[in-house]
Structure 1
Amino acid sequence: MAGEILFLAHRTPFPPDRGDKIRSHNVLKALAALAPVHVGCLGETDADMAEEKALAALAASYCMPRRTKPLPLAGIEALATGAAISISAFENKALYRWVRDTLTNRPIAAIYIFSGQMGQYVPHDWSGRLVVDFVDVDSAKFEAYAAKSGLPMRWVHAREGRLLRHYEAQLAARADCSLLVSDEEAALMRARCPGVPNIGALRNGIDCALYDPAKVRPHRDLANAAGPHFVFSGQMDYAPNIDAVERFTRRIMPAILTLHPAAQFHIVGRVPTPAVRKLASEQGVTVWGEVPDVRPFLAAASMVVAPLTIARGVQNKVLEAMAMAKTVLASPEALTGIDGEDGEHFLRCDSDAEFVAQACALADDRFRAEKVGKAARQLVLDRMSWPAMMAPLADIVGLTPGPERTARRNAA
């Protein structure tokens, strides 16, 4: 099939500095190797808007309005219209107009939606190929939030989960192909959309050249201080990450400190909430907030921890740590979609007590910690590079690259 691609994402794919943007960035690069790609996305921060030149260099054309609608306003609009808040929050009239004009004026053969919220921009009369990359089953995430929340947020999250579940089923039924980030997420979506075909997985990869321990100097403050050092990285205004660091600080670190009084827990990531910043008052805990580069912290870590209780899809934080040859102590939820063996490539911890036991055992056995870390890096080198993960995209969108794009891709 000849033609061009319309790529719609809820956030700009630049810079690739958080989980969803890392995935969208690599998907966009892979699509651009197949055909001209027209990109519609929403910018949120000054850093996003500063990446306009990078987006322009990759896209055949683009539209990147700034998302300025406050969440409370999105909530009011959603209540008034009966829509999910997640849909209202990413509604933008300028982007609607640009999509309509692009479909009218360009030979678009396929639309690739990144994140279900962007399905609202696909015209009802669109008859070309439609690929929806849901990434995660968002409705299930809000259902999990509801189960953990008190009123009134329990009602808000339950409503969001209920409305998104209906929306996801409708969008999946329209799509020629629906993608999730792991086989487990794909199975969950199939169970929630009975009778809907073509639901599968397109897994995340990792840039092993960027996350190479041989090229990164450990952070000086950690390297020069007694340990062991446990590191958690992630967007720190994201509820599952907040829950994870509160869990490690309050339920796991105290027991570790009884055996290793010099142990340190480092929380690394942008936009820490007041609740996260408050954790710095606890013994052995440092909240770093946004840092220029997370890799020096990973390089200096004795272990990387991922004690998530709510997690959807593949955790980039786990892949990054594994690529950096670090032993990862992770909950079962944080290991979804990662092909590896417990005890060989990572250590699965099913409870707080297991986190404590494994953390203390490896703090006393550096040889084993290094062995697991080296095996982890080899695993991602062998099986989880971004080119390997993105190889199915040509068949998924129904396009094959012409000679010029093939040569450009091979030279890259």
Structure 2
Amino acid sequence: MGEILFLAHRVPFPPDRGDKIRGYHILHHLARHRPVHLLAFADDPRDLEPHEEAAAITASLRVLPRRKGQARAAAEALATGRPVSLAAFDDAAMRAAVAQVLAARPIETIHVYSSQMAQYVPADTSARLVMDFCDMDSAKFAAYAEDARGPMRWMMRREARLLASTEADIAARADASLFVSEAEAALFRASTGAKRVQAVENGIDTVRFDPAAVAPVEENGPLFVFTGQMDYRPNIDAVRWFATDVLPRLAAGRLAVVGRAPAAEVRALAGPRVIVTGEVADVRPWLAAAAVVVAPLKLARGVQNKVLEAMAMARPVVATPAAAEGIEHRGTLRLADDAAAFAQAIAGLLADPAAATQLGREARAVVQTRYGWEARLAALDAILGFDRVGAAA
């Protein structure tokens, strides 16, 4: 029976942020069918510590520190004509580790999680190649370029152009190219003409994300909660816009920005009406306390885990259309794009608590029936030649 090499740009343990959550569940799914060898980077020293669950489900595991800074990656990229995103993840130790596993094990499939890791797949491999792009990164950088100025705009345009070429080349090699939503997959097909492209959507663990499972944090007055990695530019821009343009339009309530590594721009928002928590052990008590969960993202790619988590916690959610794209919410999200409409949607929910509660219940029901991880990842079985019990098809 062939084995699987899983290459990840970030070790998917513990599953405490969006990209790690998807990787975690895919890895578990694959490991139920075949022995899986995991090679991944860590950009947090804590992720280098032994993880019992990771060791238990993998046939072998190696996590390498990623220490290359953005300045060095940019210099290497400019010198070699590569995207900065690829130069940042170019590592001799990882290349050697991949070669070692391929030489020693009967690898049938190489599952690549995030396009930065495709550079480690040998050109002459006979293994099946599954490329999980998640999102179309070149489109993200093209959007960044629209808002950038001066040299940064030039860099963003360069990154978008080079990544678009890289993505097309990878897809041409891959036996399957995966995206987190059909909208993202359709954009990629239209942009590249690639074949063998399909959506494998994100899911949600509705047992863990259950409002009955945790006690809410204590807060006097309405609490508006945003969760996410807070050194990530779209999240930074989202909370700045909400705090400066939306929150002043609301007579009462505070914004809680819940997430690790808040950037200086985020920390500067802290004050009487804005709480910046930094990293928390568990986001669920904050979600449980929310009068409204907000997702004011102007730039969002794929399916937003933060929105699915809020829905699973039975909270009413107000989101921009960008943040809701790709989510089959069946009318259980309130959508607004400009500041006045966003504030009005929140105010309407605050004015009718019974309706807000019912909206949250309906959102949880949608997630329970539509977004269970097992159902979302079933499409991998056909791609990888598994039957329902894990034998070769």
TM-score band, normalised by shorter chain: over 0.9
Specify the alignment match of 2:76 in structure 1. 77
The superposition leaves residues 367-405 of structure 1 with CA deviations (integer Å, 9 ceiling, x where unpaired) of 010010000000011110111111121211224476799
The superposition leaves residues 122-158 of structure 1 with CA deviations (integer Å, 9 ceiling, x where unpaired) of 0000122110000000000001001011122111111
- Hey, what's the Cα distance between the residues in 2 that align with 1:70 and 1:153? 17
The 1:354/1:403 distance shift into structure 2, 3 A limit, reads: closer
SS at match of 1:210: coil
Specify the alignment match of 1:238 in structure 2. 232
Structure 1 residue 52: Cα displacement:
3.8
- Hey, what's the Cα distance between the residues in 1 that align with 2:296 and 2:185? 23
- The amino acid across from 2:195 in the alignment is P
Runs (5+) with no aligned partner, structure 2: none
Specify the alignment match of 1:408 in structure 2. none
Q: Does the Cα contact within 8 Å between 1:14 and 1:51 map onto a contact in 2? A: no
Specify the alignment match of 1:271 in structure 2. 261
Identical pairs, percent: 49
- Hey, what's the Cα distance between the residues in 2 that align with 1:365 and 1:50? 47
Specify the alignment match of 2:222 in structure 1. 228
Q: Does the Cα contact within 8 Å between 1:34 and 1:394 map onto a contact in 2? A: no
- Hey, what's the Cα distance between the residues in 1 that align with 2:14 and 2:259? 15
TM normalised by structure 2 equals 0.97
Q: Does the Cα contact within 8 Å between 2:115 and 2:167 map onto a contact in 1? A: yes
Specify the alignment match of 2:380 in structure 1. 393
- Hey, what's the Cα distance between the residues in 1 that align with 2:137 and 2:147? 16
SS at match of 2:225: strand
Runs (5+) with no aligned partner, structure 1: 406-412
Q: Does the Cα contact within 8 Å between 1:330 and 1:349 map onto a contact in 2? A: yes
**Which residues of 2 match residues 8-407 of structure 1 at below 5 A?**
8-194=7-193, 196-220=194-218, 222=219, 225=220, 227-257=221-251, 260=252, 263-281=253-271, 283-342=272-331, 345-400=332-387
The 1:382/1:120 distance shift into structure 2, 3 A limit, reads: same
Q: Could you say which structure has the greater relative contact order, defined with CA pairs below 8 angstroms and 6 or more residues apart?
A: 1
- Hey, what's the Cα distance between the residues in 2 that align with 1:5 and 1:403? 13
Q: Does the Cα contact within 8 Å between 1:35 and 1:401 map onto a contact in 2? A: no
- Hey, what's the Cα distance between the residues in 1 that align with 2:277 and 2:255? 11
Q: Does the Cα contact within 8 Å between 2:34 and 2:390 map onto a contact in 1? A: no
Q: Does the Cα contact within 8 Å between 1:328 and 1:346 map onto a contact in 2? A: yes
Q: Does the Cα contact within 8 Å between 1:280 and 1:286 map onto a contact in 2? A: yes
Structure 1 residue 101: Cα displacement:
1.6
The 1:284/1:394 distance shift into structure 2, 3 A limit, reads: same
Aligned length: 392
Structure 1 residue 98: Cα displacement:
1.4
